[in-house]
């Protein structure tokens, strides 16, 4: 591990020197690539340097203890030595985590799809609630949300919604949200006070660049229609909304959020590209069963990942057996504790796999 860390440190120092080179500065593509590489190594290099400082403190303290005769100074050196030794295991653990292979999608923006499942109107109302959860969470992270399409049911519920979240590390934070989210609560329309169980599906897909997924336009059909607002009320006097049909997969995407056909067409292609990428990744994961087992959650939309029990005020993530009694905060977008726990569990599983 430490040979590898030394190589990374040397590479980091080389990058720093290159970034000060006038020839590199004038080559913007090269400069941006080096800046990106340096940023990806920042946390690891900083941690390794702190680790090396601790090791140096230990060596220096041991050497000085042999020479020192003053009791007070010896006591002080012993304290410094103990503090440094105590820090070493935590630095080593952190370095192992930072050395784990990075998901190449982690820094990407995400496309989110939420669909009401079993439960009728109550499922649609919960889909609207979860749409708010993710948009509120994005606000807390200073990320930008762009709604692509919404199918509402007129009573505040949503049959389906797709939207993009733009921000640094959006995929790394949200990727474990894919799957079935189940809700247990008394619907507003329930006169008998009975608890109903409903479900929605959430899909989190990384935004994919054109070069990563090629689309044959001969496989696509575009239909245009008039965008409409809540309750079918027209919000546009031209046929600017776009429906994209991809013949090989049967995928159909509607986009009506933008004012022009071209903008909606571009967004629809972006969603299609993300869906095709997701399908390819799922196929690869099926082929690599070992990789699939090493993940906290497969991201399969049919996998029940979480239950929101309003009567008991709890949210349970079934993949890591975590229960939090803070449903009001979670439904207001405070989902960091859930996300942090899932990331930690995923890292622990990957470390265990590497060590075995």
The residue among 98, 121, 156 that closes a domain is: 98
Into how many domains does the chain fold?
Answer: 2
**pLDDT given for residue 155 in this prediction:** 81
| Residue 105 maps to a domain | no
| pLDDT over threshold 70, residue 120 | yes
The residue among 60, 77, 98 that closes a domain is: 98
**pLDDT given for residue 266 in this prediction:** 87
What confidence tens digit (pLDDT) does each residue in 231-283 have? Answer: 444 444 457 888 899 998 889 988 887 778 888 888 888 888 888 888 887 77
3-state SS string for the chain: CHHHHHHHHHHHHHHHHHHCCHHHHHCHHHHHHHHHHHHHHHHHHHHHHHHHHHHHHHHHHHHHHHHCCCHHHHHHHHHHHHHHHHHHHHHHHHHHHHCCCCCCCCCCCEEEEEEECCCHHHHHHHHHHHHHHHHHHHHHCCCEEEEEEEEECCCCCEEEEEEEEECCCHHHHHHHHCEEEEEEECCCCCCCCCCEEEEEEEEEEECCCCCCCCCCHHHEEEEEECCECHHHCECCCCCCEEEEEECCCCEEEEECCCCCHHHHHHHHHHHHHHHHHHHHHHHHHHHCHHHHHCCCCCCCCCCEEEEEECCCCEEEECCCCEEECCHHHHCCCCCHHHHHHHHHHHHHHHHHHHHC
**pLDDT given for residue 340 in this prediction:** 94
Q: Are residues 136 and 227 in the same domain?
A: yes
The residue among 51, 69, 98 that closes a domain is: 98
Q: Which residue has the higher pLDDT, 231 or 103?
A: 103
**pLDDT given for residue 36 in this prediction:** 84
Q: Are residues 303 and 253 in the same domain?
A: yes
Domain of 151, CATH number, reads 3.30.70.1660
**pLDDT given for residue 293 in this prediction:** 45
**pLDDT given for residue 230 in this prediction:** 44
What confidence tens digit (pLDDT) does each residue in 57-102 have? Answer: 999 989 888 887 788 888 888 888 999 999 999 998 888 888 888 8
Q: Are residues 63 and 150 in the same domain?
A: no
pLDDT band at 1 (very low <50, low <70, confident <90, very high): confident
What confidence tens digit (pLDDT) does each residue in 299-329 have? Answer: 455 678 999 999 999 999 999 999 999 999 9
Q: Are residues 75 and 172 in the same domain?
A: no
Q: Are residues 197 and 226 in the same domain?
A: yes
Mean pLDDT lowest among 119-128, 139-148, 227-236: 227-236
Structural domain for 29, as ranges = 2-98
């Amino acid at each position: 591990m430490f040979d590898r860390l030394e190589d990374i440190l040397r590479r980091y120092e080389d990058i720093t020197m290159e970034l000060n080179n006038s020839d590199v500065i004038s080559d913007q593509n090269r400069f941006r690539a080096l800046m990106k590489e340096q940023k990806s190594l920042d946390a690891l290099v900083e941690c390794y340097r702190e680790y090396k400082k601790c090791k140096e403190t230990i060596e220096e303290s041991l050497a000085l203890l042999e020479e020192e005769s003053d009791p007070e100074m010896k006591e002080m050196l012993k304290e410094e030595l103990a503090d440094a030794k105590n820090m070493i295991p935590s630095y080593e653990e952190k370095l192992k985590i930072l050395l784990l292979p990075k998901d190449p999608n982690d820094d990407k923006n995400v496309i989110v799809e939420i669909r009401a499942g079993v439960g009728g109107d109550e499922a649609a109302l919960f889909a609207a609630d979860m749409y708010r959860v993710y948009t509120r969470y994005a606000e807390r992270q200073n990320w930008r949300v762009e709604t692509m399409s919404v199918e509402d049911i007129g009573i505040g519920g949503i049959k389906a919604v797709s939207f993009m979240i733009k921000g640094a590390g959006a995929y790394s934070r949200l990727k474990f949200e894919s799957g079935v989210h189940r809700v247990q609560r008394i619907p507003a329309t329930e006169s008998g006070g009975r608890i109903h169980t409903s479900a929605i599906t959430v899909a989190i897909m990384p935004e994919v660049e054109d070069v990563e997924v090629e689309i044959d336009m001969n496989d696509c059909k575009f239909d245009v229609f008039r965008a409409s607002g809540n309750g079918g009320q027209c919000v546009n006097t031209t046929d600017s909304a776009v429906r994209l049909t991809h013949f090989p997969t049967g995928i159909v995407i509607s986009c009506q959020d933008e004012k022009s056909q071209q903008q909606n067409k571009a967004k629809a292609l972006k969603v299609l590209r993300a869906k095709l990428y997701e399908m390819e990744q799922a196929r690869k994961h099926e082929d690599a069963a070992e990789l699939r087992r090493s993940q906290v959650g497969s991201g399969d939309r049919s996998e029940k990942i979480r239950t929101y029990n309003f009567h008991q005020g709890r949210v349970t993530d079934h993949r890591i057996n975590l229960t939090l009694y803070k449903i009001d905060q979670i439904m207001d977008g405070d989902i960091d504790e859930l996300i942090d726990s899932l990331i930690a569990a995923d890292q622990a599983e990957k470390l265990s796999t590497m060590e075995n």
